[in-house]
Amino acid sequence: MRNCANCGEHRSNDQFVKKTVANPDVCKICRARISRKKYNSANPGKRYPSYIRSVTSWKARNPEKVKQYREISYARNSKAWKISARKREFAKNQRTPLWDRELTDFVFEQAISLRDKRKMMLGGIWEIDHIIPLQGKLVSGLHVWNNLRVIPQTENRSKYNNYDIF
């Protein structure tokens, strides 16, 4: 256990970067925060959340162009799109236990309904997320009813296939 030189919190040793020359007593969380602040101050027009908001709002204003770009992308890379879709479907089937399939299918249908209702009532784009990802780097979850949730697209995309323990 060590104290972080930046925030002063008492953290375990695995919360610190092992091989560092600069600031070895700063925890990973503070290191990321410092790095983000440094990047944002050096690049004032390129802040990540504003970029995501601008892309999302552009997509909402131009649905026909988004559809056209998708069609062009699919025509150029149809093999890659099919491989990606099959890989995801295979991973989902491999991680769906037979003993819980009916309940999972029911909850998944309800999640689809909830996603559509939230989109209609709150706006924005909502996605069905696996809390513990199906193809995570550290863990691999199951496609079961209690591993599903409906969250905003920006949060789901920023999560990628990571599992946050916090």
**Model confidence pLDDT, tens digit, residues 45-78:** 666 555 666 777 788 889 999 999 999 999 999 9
CB 2 within 8 A of CB 13: yes
Residue 116 has pLDDT above 90, yes or no: yes
Phi and psi dihedrals of 46, rounded to 5? -115, 35
Predicted pLDDT of residue 46: 66
Residues 10/15/17/22 CA torsion (nearest 10 deg): -30
Q: How many helices (H) and strands (E) does the chain have?
A: 6, 4
Domain boundaries along the sequence of the chain: 1-46, 95-166
30-53 residue pLDDT tens: 888 888 788 777 877 666 555 666
Comparison of pLDDT for 135 and 66, the residue scoring more: 66
Whether the Cβ atoms of residue 135 and residue 91 lie closer than 8 Å to each other: yes
The band of 154, judged by pLDDT with boundaries at 50, 70 and 90, is confident
Taking all residues of the chain, what is their mean pLDDT, rounded to a whole number? 84
127's enclosing H/E stretch is strand 126-130
Q: Which of 102-106, 132-136, 147-151 has the lowest mean pLDDT?
A: 132-136
Mean pLDDT, range 136-156, rounded to an integer: 87
What is residue 88's predicted lDDT score, i.e. its pLDDT?
84
Strand partners, 149: 129
pTM: 0.50
The Cα–Cα gap between 47 and 115 comes to 28
Concatenating the DSSP letter of every residue in 9-76 gives -EE-GGGB-SS-SS-TTSBHHHHHHHHHHHHHHH-TT--HHHHHHHHHHHHHH-HHHHHHHHHHHHHH
The confidence band for 103, taking pLDDT boundaries of 50, 70 and 90, is very high
Place of tokens 């990628």: 160
**CA 31 to CA 18: how far, in whole Å?**
13
